[in-house]
Amino acid sequence: MNMKQSKRQPFGQLLREKRMEKGYSLRKFAQLVGVSPTYLSQVEQNNVAPPTADRVKRMAEILGESVDDWTSLAGRLTEDLPGIIQERPEFPDMLRAMQGLTSDQLRKLRADAERMKKEGK
């Protein structure tokens, strides 16, 4: 998913497009996710807030999309992030410092962090 595109595109609209691309009917997809077709229709029409992080994760997995990208697009946090942020007081400050970096810069920073982690073991 192109995140620049998704920032302009509401969650429900993208969900509907991807669901249809994969050939899932509204009823079948709702069944796979564990929600009612009526609720799913309301989400796709952006008449209700995006679903919980767990449901968004399930949707992304079914559609073969990035769980992190979809969770972010839905305005949710995956369940592991609050704990990760709370266990290290440096993390909130680091997140603030990274705000405004380009995607390329963030990818480089992540690669550097992975390398440092490996070297530290």
Domain spans of the chain, in order of start = 3-73, 81-120
Query: pLDDT tens for residues 7-44?
Result: 568 999 999 999 999 999 999 999 999 999 999 999 99
Domain 3-73, CATH class in plain words? mainly alpha
CB atoms within 10 A of CB 59: 26
H-run or E-run covering 93:
helix 90-98
Q: What is the pTM of this model?
A: 0.74
Query: pLDDT tens for residues 32-87?
Result: 999 999 999 999 999 999 999 999 999 999 999 999 999 999 999 888 888 888 89
